[in-house]
Structure formats: C-alpha cells, structure tokens
Amino acid sequence: MTQPLRILHVNASSSGGAFVVAQRLVEAQNAMPGIQARHFVFTGQAGAGYELYASSLLNKAKAFGYHAAEKAHFLAHEASAAQRFLFSHAYVGLDEIPGWQDADILHLHWVNKGLLSMRGLQRLIDSGKPIVWTCHDLWPFTGGCYHPSDCKGLESDCQTCPLLKSGSDLAKRRLAHKHRLWAGQKQLQFVAPSAWLAGKAARSAVAQDLVHEIQVIPNGIDALRFAPGEAAAERRRWNLNPEATVLLFSSANLANPYKGFPEFVQLFNALVEAGQKVQALLVGQNRVGDLGLKGPFVEAGFLSEADDLVSVYRASDLYVTPTRNDNLPTTVMEALSCGTPVLAFGVGGIPEMIQDGHTGWVVEPGDTQGLRQAAQAFMGKSVQQRQQMSSAARAFAQVTYSFDAVVDQYRKLYDSL
C-alpha cells in the first residue's frame, strides 16, 4: 500500500485569518485520498482538528514567555508603543516543531507571536525537508513589519524603518538575515493567496535570490456549503422585506476604520434619498452606536457559524465591501460562491476576485460616486439579468476557490519539491 503524503501545517495562533485558512485546508486535504494532514497550533484555544502546543500550564507559560520576551527586547527599538504589535523580529521561539521529523512536507502559515525565532527557521531550513510557506502577510519579505503599506524599504535594505527609532538598524539586519536564509534554497517554496501579494513580495530584496518563483494559490472555501439556495426562506429568517433590494455589509466590528462602513452608510443613504427601495443587512458587532442609516436595516450581529453566514449571503442581493485595505477577503469568496454579486473598492487582491460588470463591480478606492453608480446599475437590472450575474459569480467561485481546485494546486506543488 502506498504511504500517504504527510503534511504538517504550522500556525502561531488558533484565531485569525491564517488559522481559519489553514484549518480549512487541513480538513479538505484529509478528505482527499493519498494525503494525511496535521495542524500544529502554538497558542490559543483548544479545539477539534488541530494540535495545540499551549494546552498545558507549562507550555502556556512558555508560549506567553516567548512572545513577552520578544516584545521586551523590542522596546529599545520601537518608535512608539502604538506600533509594538506591527513588527516582529523573531527574537525567541521554539527550537523545533514537535513531530516535524515525521512529516514529508512542512507547510508554514503564520509563524510569529513567539512561535519560531530566526534560529528555529534556520534549523527547519537546514534540515533539507521540503517547506511550503503560505504568506498571509508580507513578513517573510520585510525587515519585520507585517504590512509595509506604502513603505518601499523592503525593496532595498529597510535601513530607515518608520516603526523603529531613528538610528536602529534592527529591520536592516533582519532583512539581510532573511535574505541569507532563503537564498538558493531549492526545497523552499513561497505561496501567496493573491497575485497582488505575490507581486509586492517579488519586489522585495529578499526575493531576488529565491530558487522558485512565488506561486499564487488562493485560499479555499467549502463551495458545497457556501452555495446558492432559497432566498425567500432566508429573508423570512432575518425579517427582510421581500420587495426590497438587500445590500449586505459585513465586518467583525462595524467600527473597524479599514472596513469602510462610513462609505457603506453614505452609499445606502444616497440610494434611499434617490427613492430606491433598499434595505441593509449588517453582519458584525455594533461598536458604532447610532449607525446613521436613513432607511430600513437589520442587524444580524457577529456571526461565526458557516450556516448563518450562508443564510445572510443567500438573503442578500448585493454584497458591498468598500474595504480600504485587504488581501483576498474570504467574505468575497463566500458571497460569490453563494451566487451573490459583489461591489467593492479595488484594493489588494480584490480586482482578481471580481469580473467587473459580470460578477460584480470594482471601483477605484475612495470613489464613493463610483460606488453609487455601480449600485444604481445593479438596481436597474431585471430579475433575469440579476440571475445571470448570480450564476456567473457561482461558476467563477467554484472553479477558482473550491477546496477541490485549491487542494489540487497544492498537491502539484508538493510533488514538485
């Protein structure tokens, strides 16, 4: 009998997008023949389907201590306390991942928060074991920050990092260290979930001596669960007007300044004032207070269960996400897979996700007039035209983001190393 390919996925925390993406991938891989996937998680809450390192009091103390020690060491370099958790120099961490020797492939995800130090990364690379690293941010290609925004330091030497005190060369030294570690390693393959992120990473000085080009493999979703369904029943569940065009907005916290709720409010109120029959469906914690909406709306609150999320996508006509900063939003994938067209600002990898005018609309970031024009274009479509958009959105998501498609791409990548 052929031995299954043994994959060890590695993550720093049981919360956050990187964990969700990795756990979904593990579950999808284990449902496929010929793959045996495990998920090692450093710290957080215990749960089914993954191995939690910080499950004992001793290991909890170690995990906390490693992260605290790194931040304490960083105090001498940070420009301000407000930026303390925007940077990691991987100062301390585990010397090795338990059970890593038994894996055929090491699949790294988010490895900060005291999980792996630069020395720990060195040990993994020196082992010669094939390593696939899915980049959920740009940390592997910077001097220590996760999101460099408009900073171009990673393209040269990170000499003057805006997160560090004047005169600190910590970022410069870390960038040079990563360059030495990654350069010429045939068994090391980086993956980005979007061409946008891959492009930014490829411009880093660290990437210039990589053996393998950074691959683009999107995050996957369960397209069997996130699928179109009976909209009328879902609208009754959420007490939505069956005659209105329902606009969906979703954010874990409506007050998050990056998710664009003020732009959604401005769009919604403009449509109401123009006499359009619209209703807003809001997903997320309301830490705003008075939402300022001039028309009817329903607050669904924070939703974490997949069935609840599927329900709100099915109940909605258009998902509006004027986010100001994002990579490859899972909510966009889920909405499209449920057959809900998407209207969004063209930031990060979002333009790769939406076929403009076909499965939704992509508007220039900050162009609120463009948002309104696109929404009005949708409002003007017939029932048949809306259904055509819905079918196109579903078809695109199935081909691009389904577990089958993503697992197949990763299997081919594993086999190439």
Taking residues 342-358, report their average pLDDT.
96
Report d(CA 401, CA 70) in Å as an integer: 36
Amino acid 157: pLDDT: 95
The model's pLDDT over 269-310, given as tens digits with 9 standing for 90+, comes to: 999 999 999 999 999 999 999 999 999 999 999 998 999 999
Judged against a pLDDT cut of 70, whether residue 10 lies above it is answered with: yes
- Average predicted confidence (pLDDT) for the chain: 95
The model's pLDDT over 242-257, given as tens digits with 9 standing for 90+, comes to: 999 999 999 989 999 8
Residue 205: alpha-carbon gap to chain centroid: 24
Q: Which positions ≥6 away from 150 have C-beta within 8 Å?
A: none
- The reported pTM is 0.90
Letter for the amino acid at 123?
Answer: R
Judged against a pLDDT cut of 60, whether residue 214 lies above it is answered with: yes
The model's pLDDT over 62-108, given as tens digits with 9 standing for 90+, comes to: 999 999 999 999 999 999 998 899 999 999 999 889 989 999 999 99
Taking residues 12-38, report their average pLDDT.
93
The model's pLDDT over 228-242, given as tens digits with 9 standing for 90+, comes to: 999 999 999 999 999
Amino acid 262: pLDDT: 96
Judged against a pLDDT cut of 90, whether residue 60 lies above it is answered with: yes
Q: Which positions ≥6 away from 61 have C-beta within 8 Å?
A: none
Residue percentage of the chain with pLDDT more than 90? 94
Q: Which positions ≥6 away from 256 have C-beta within 8 Å?
A: none
How big is the chain by its Cα radius of gyration, in Å? 22
Judged against a pLDDT cut of 70, whether residue 47 lies above it is answered with: yes
Judged against a pLDDT cut of 70, whether residue 1 lies above it is answered with: no
Judged against a pLDDT cut of 90, whether residue 149 lies above it is answered with: no
Amino acid 96: pLDDT: 86
The model's pLDDT over 157-204, given as tens digits with 9 standing for 90+, comes to: 999 999 999 999 999 999 999 999 999 999 999 999 999 999 999 999
Report d(CA 168, CA 147) in Å as an integer: 19
Ordered domains of the chain (ranges, CATH): 5-220+403-416 (3.40.50.2000), 231-401 (3.40.50.2000)
Query: To which H or E segment does residue 162 belong?
Result: none
Residue 154: alpha-carbon gap to chain centroid: 21
**162 dihedral zone (left: phi>0; alpha: psi -120 to 50; beta):** alpha
DSSP H helical ranges for 138-284: 170-182, 195-202, 231-237, 261-273
Residue 261: phi and psi, rounded to 5, are: -60, -40
Amino acid 299: pLDDT: 97
Judged against a pLDDT cut of 60, whether residue 381 lies above it is answered with: yes
Taking residues 213-240, report their average pLDDT.
96
